Amino acid sequence: MYRGKLDIIPCTLYTLPSTQMTRIALFASGSGSNVENIANYFANNDQVVFTKVYCNKPDAFVLQRAAKLGLATRIFTKEEFSGSETIVQELLDDQTDLIILAGFLWMVPAALVKAFPKHIINIHPALLPKFGGKGMYGMRVHEAVVANKETESGITIHYVNEHYDEGPAIFQAKFEVLPTDSADDVAHKIHLLEFEHFPKIIEKLVKN
């Protein structure tokens, strides 16, 4: 946990309807550290089941992480995701309750948002609405924060709509950016907040 100056900003939270078990699909494009963290957090929770890890990159390291965790994976193309309703139908067939974007870079198509309103959650490595939008991900965000001489940064967990990083916020946590902080320093602090808070917010969403 980051031990510097930290503020927690609770936002709107829509809990899921009470059910015996919550079925979660995870989407990722990169290394999958958040996917692994979330899966481990819920490892002993018999009220949560992960249906699949969906990935748009065949060489993404998240696929190796998922295999070690015993999670099913699904690699998909741009056409399957946004050019048709293939993925939407698979999610429906799996009786998916909640979709978690954990480092997933593509914009979610309108058909998917419509099929799962307020049931798609994303985490962004900045305090939205600052440093959001197309192309703002990963180190690009942290470099922009440092270049802009921001005095604070943090994470935003939010619902997903048809536009990049514009859905209603659920939760924010922020920290002080020191004048001596590099983009790598900011990235490290962000990762600590992601690992601490993302699983807990998901748990609040699914808790009966």
Q: What are phi and psi of 173, to 5 degrees?
A: -130, 135
Residue owning tokens 């065949």: 58
Of the candidates 119, 124, 158, 197, the residue annotated as catalytic is 124
In 3D space, the residue among 48, 40, 91, 94 whose CA is nearest the CA of residue 68 turns out to be: 40
Which segments of the chain does DSSP mark as H helices, in order? 33-41, 62-69, 78, 86-93, 110-115, 139-147, 183-206
As beta bridge partners, residue 7 has: 174
For the question of residue 124 being annotated catalytic, the response is: yes
Catalytic residues: 124
